[in-house]
Structure 1
Amino acid sequence: MITIQGFAKLCGCNTQTLRYYDRIGLLAPAKVDQWTGYRYYEEEQAMLFVKIKNLQMADFSIGEIKTLLNEDEDHLMAAFDRKIEEQKQKLEQMENIRKSYLDEAMNMQRMVNTIIDFVEGRMSSPELWQEFGLDQEKDTEISARVHELLAEWMEQCKNAGADMAQYMDTMQEMVEKLKNGTLDEEQRKMLLSDEDDLEKDIPEGAEKIFARDGWTHVSDWIGEIPAPEKGKESFFLFSVPRDSLIVDPGFPTLMLAVMGARYNTQEGGMTCKVGLSKDGLNHFSLLQK
């Protein structure tokens, strides 16, 4: 027999490692002196140590090592082969992750740039903020809500497989065509609903709880809108003239940001739709379901 210090030198490890192996049930001393507590090993146990060390280095779990300690060399080699295949699969997965990383990073950058471009290009319009009686520089909570809404919206579109940058460019092009009168009817319906179609996708049974007609600016009455009932979805419906500022693609987002910040809505959900009015006047309805 050999002391724990001598056995550690033989195995090329320290005594703490041997005590750890003993504690977890992998390699117990051949003898422990009942009076002194000294640990003694048989030299032949060095082969068991080699097996344990190499299985650990090969990423076998403690449970797997305990099982393999009693197996012959053929079973041990077969276990190594299986572990090699597992590591190959992990390596292949890592390669795939590495390849997809750049694509995902580029797509995320495009999404971030699209949000920034939209906010700076459309949501920074002083006239749009003035429509609500707001100051973009001072109403930082509204600005934060705008970014949050756009991020959520883009995530939904991303999950649906939509190309956000292309979509935003198309929307902007249609707005310009609408303003200069070159938008065809099919494109117009993609951008704006007719007044009669505004409620087409509203759930049956939705109740109109607030309405205003013939107004000039949203700021004239927005403070009168009642707080949404908890758990109910709100539908903000606008029908306006063709040349109204409200046909701007940024308007629905800003409207939802204003309402979300004002009432801190967390449940139920909100939708804002804009359509063309028949009489050339401004109309608004709030429905809830």
Structure 2
Amino acid sequence: MNGQVKFIISQKHSSQQFESQEWQKIEHAFKQFVGLEHIKETLKSIAAWAVINQKREEFGLKTEKQSHHMLFYGNPGTGKTTAARVMATLLKELNILERGHLVEAERADLVGEYIGHTAVKTRELIKKAEGGILFIDEAYSLSRGGEKDFGREAIDTLVKHMEDSSGRFICILAGYKREMNGFLRMNTGLKSRFAHLLYFPDYTLNDLNHIAVNMFNIKDYKLSKPAGDRLLRSMREMGDISGNGRFVRNLTEFIIRAQAVRLLKYEELTKKDCMYISEDDVLKGIEGYKKDKQDHQ
């Protein structure tokens, strides 16, 4: 009896000490995500559920028919496309999806120019997405033409294949929350096809700063302490960032270009020179960003 107790305790300790390879893959996939804690936890749980469902099937246990089709709500630049891309790669690694590729589409990719053309285009796109994820951004644009628009045909074709081809591909529709709610009313069966509705909130200022620093690090740039402080202060002063990751991406590009202009004036360059982002680079980059934005207003 004592030996049996010891064995059970040892087994329990072992399971706490070592995580499965599947869970390590899930954790690693979302390691680079900044903010979006609720989104990360939800996507992790979806992936974990899919894996365990497969394990239950292998053991001959009852399993649920799973739908992984998703709706992503949120403003532009809040990480929706990135999340879709990460999920595609992760589900391939977990053997949930066969290919793990992401097919990005918009209205023009689905809607044809004459009767019958739309259904053909939509089916071709779905075929292309098999084994991966079909990601349709600004999906509500399919409903903008009214009752007689071919966009309705695209929606009806998509709904049918989401049911008939369940498991062969995942469909993710994305867009603004208000517009997406109106879009879902276009087809009575549309909303029921989506098991997961995820809202992507705007990033906070600290999140955006973290994203900017990550972007520089990934590209082998290092912000000096004054440069980092200046970047955070300047973003706070700009006040029109709207929690948008695209804003950060554009801003970092302008800062990198400002650094390139400064470095090209040097007679000799070191590796450290090429990595170093100065406070003046940040100031010049922000100045260039503001001017570019003003020119395009």
Q: Same fold (TM over 0.5)?
A: no
Larger Rg: 1
Give the TM-score taking structure 2 as reference length: 0.22
